[in-house]
A = this chain, B = another copy of it.
């Protein structure tokens, strides 16, 4: 069988033309999505080498060790990639105060879209994170 990007055991992360790969971070305990950011090759290598999530700050144009100042580092419990190897998913344990968002919220996704009658007039609601319903053992 021919080995493809979907079946290979080689990690060949595919970066965008800008040299970035999207990274999803979830809370390893609850499964909630905590944040989303981009990594460049250096950030991904640092993440793997240190076990602490690093990103590329597009706004500041530099390597970003998340939580370096606040102490809310993201400890990598598991790092995954998808079928096309153009996204990574980190299941993390948030260190320090357990806060992943710069607003002070635990997750950046603290608002949900309220079902609108009209998509153009959708509004947001501050709401607790969705709960996984079936714990796996």
Binding site for B on A (CB under 8 A): 6, 8-11, 22, 24, 26-33, 35-36, 44-46, 48-49, 77-84, 87, 89, 91, 101-103, 105, 108-113, 116, 119-120, 122-126, 129-137
Contacts and interface: CB of A to CB of B under 8 A. Distances in A.
Contacts of A79: 112-113
A80 B137 contact: no
> Nearest 3 pairs between A and B by C-beta?
A31-B31, A31-B132, A131-B136
Identical chains bound together, number: 2
B112 A83 contact: no
A108 B133 CA distance: 21
B30 A132 contact: yes
Given A22-B36, A89-B109, A124-B10, A133 B77 contact: no
